[in-house]
Chains A and B, each alone.
Chain A
Amino acid sequence: MTTNGASSPAPLGLLAELTHRCPLGCPYCSNPLALDKRDHELDTATWARVFREAASLGILQVHLSGGEPAARRDLPEIVRAARDAGLYSNLITSAVGLTPQTLSKIADEGLDHVQISIQDSDEISADHIAGYKGASTRKRAIAGEVVKLGLPLTINMVVHRANIERVESMVELALSLAATRVEIAHVQYYGWALKNRAALMPTREQVDKAVRQVESLRAKHRGQIVIDAVVPDCYARYPKPCVGGWGRRSLNITPAGRVLPCMLPKLFPGLNSGMCANIRSPTSGTPRRHLQRSAAPIGCMNPANLVRGAIRILAGAVARHS
């Protein structure tokens, strides 16, 4: 989640991974290689409690994600719980498995924003990347429903070698769907993406060209659509600052209830961050302390050391696998 640069006294966002279930099979998925089982998923009441606790920490926004959040039958209740806790809610969805009826219901429950992923502007390529025939058609249809309901729409485009030549037409597609925002999210090569990088990783020349295209698209469409773009770490001049320091800007909760300071620990199971809490752990005291314990120790650490440590791990992962 981006801000206008000012630092905050408390984390801003909560990434709520409601489930690892998903009908698609994207090769760059940010799910860990070992998925949480369905019967280990946190129930509605627990998510409602987590949202209340997050709000009391000062967290402002929740990103309802997964896997595919629409795979949760209690999605309307979860959205209501986020609203009742006073959190701004973003639905991060593939739109596959999300019916217009459910969308209408969650809009009524107070959902603030919908982000839909689109795998390519070319529909055949898009369905192939998603591993789901008809995905493209479904996404465009649900995008239309979001706009009809008056909710803001973001189109998320995950960019890699198979679609990087079509950055311009992907932005045009987002515009034609009346999105107010498009995220050009170059694949980051960890987890599944690292495993599949032979098929995914673009060349430096391709990335540089895409960066130039995004700059000119921003100028061309200023005021019509907001374009947020992130380049892959492996081709950046310097590694990105690591989410502002673990636990500072956002928290991540997995479907089975692990509280993580970022995506990192689940993608590197051997990494002992010492900062992970488990919502259901009987020895960890009251539930409120789980989230607080995650936030407080991280705040005491020197963020510069955390940033350097994390970046070395990530850079090392790509280098070791090259």
Chain B
Amino acid sequence: MARPANQLSNDACPRLPKGVRLTHNEAQGGWVLLAPERVFKADVITAEILKRCTGEATLGAIVDDLANTFAAPRERIHADVMNLLGGLVEKKLLELD
């Protein structure tokens, strides 16, 4: 059952819903998020976050993984992830299990 954006807790499992896909396109110059009649350009960081939103990893685990992989401060990553995912949930581009 999908949760609203204000339920972005560490134990939520974010997932791209059916009809929303992250894909890399050479001609478009990078990562793009495809949604119903909409296209969003995604920078490398956004793509790294969204690749991990499989519905199986918790938000907390995703932040940990990113902090380790990119040797960046956990708090900063957490803030960036919350910001990105909150916006996507509101736009119906991401679900929280």
B83 contacts chain A at the CB level, 8 A cutoff: no
A9 contacts chain B at the CB level, 8 A cutoff: yes
Q: Per-position contact with A for B3-29: 1 when CB-CB < 8 Å, else 0? A: 011000000000001111101011111
Given A60-B25, A181-B92, A223-B90: A6 in contact with B34 (beta carbons within 8 A) = no
Given A223-B90, A225-B92: A3 in contact with B28 (beta carbons within 8 A) = no
A311 contacts chain B at the CB level, 8 A cutoff: no
> Across the interface, which residues of B come within 8 angstroms of A6, CB to CB?
41
- Count, chain A residues at interface, CB 8 A: 31
Q: Does A150 contact B41, Cβ atoms closer than 8 Å?
A: no
Q: Does A9 contact B89, Cβ atoms closer than 8 Å?
A: no
A-B contact pairs, 11 of them (CB 8 A): A2-B38, A2-B39, A9-B28, A58-B28, A61-B39, A112-B34, A113-B37, A152-B17, A152-B92, A181-B36, A223-B5
Q: How far is the CA of A225 from the CA of B93 in the complex (A)?
A: 11
Given A58-B27, A223-B89: A152 in contact with B5 (beta carbons within 8 A) = no
**A positions within 8 Å CB-CB of B:** 1-4, 6, 8-10, 12-13, 56-58, 60-61, 63, 88, 90, 112-113, 115, 150-152, 154, 180-181, 222-223, 225-226
Closest to A9 in B: B29
**B positions within 8 Å CB-CB of A:** 4-5, 17-21, 23, 25-29, 32, 34-41, 89-92
Q: How far is the CA of A63 from the CA of B39 in the complex (A)?
A: 13
> Across the interface, which residues of B come within 8 angstroms of A152, CB to CB?
17-20, 35-36, 92
Task: Looking at the assembled complex, report how far the CB atom of A118 sits from the nearest CB atom of chain B, in whole angstroms.
Answer: 16
Closest to A6 in B: B41
> Across the interface, which residues of A come within 8 angstroms of B90, CB to CB?
222-223
> Across the interface, which residues of A come within 8 angstroms of B21, CB to CB?
88, 112
Given A8-B28, A9-B28, A226-B92: A1 in contact with B19 (beta carbons within 8 A) = no
Q: Does B34 contact A88, Cβ atoms closer than 8 Å?
A: yes
Q: How far is the CA of A115 from the CA of B27 in the complex (A)?
A: 27
Q: Does B37 contact A1, Cβ atoms closer than 8 Å?
A: yes
Given A181-B92, A225-B92, A226-B92: A113 in contact with B39 (beta carbons within 8 A) = no
Q: Does B36 contact A154, Cβ atoms closer than 8 Å?
A: yes
Q: Does A1 contact B39, Cβ atoms closer than 8 Å?
A: yes
> Across the interface, which residues of B come within 8 angstroms of A2, CB to CB?
37-39
> Across the interface, which residues of B come within 8 angstroms of A57, CB to CB?
27
> Across the interface, which residues of B come within 8 angstroms of A88, CB to CB?
21, 34
The 9 tightest CB contacts between A and B, nearest first, are A58-B27, A152-B19, A113-B36, A88-B34, A180-B92, A6-B41, A10-B27, A4-B40, A223-B90
Q: Does A180 contact B36, Cβ atoms closer than 8 Å?
A: yes
Q: Does A1 contact B38, Cβ atoms closer than 8 Å?
A: yes
Q: Does B34 contact A60, Cβ atoms closer than 8 Å?
A: yes
> Across the interface, which residues of B come within 8 angstroms of A222, CB to CB?
90
Task: Looking at the assembled complex, report how far the CB atom of B85 sits from the nearest CB atom of chain A, in whole angstroms.
Answer: 13
Q: Does B5 contact A9, Cβ atoms closer than 8 Å?
A: no
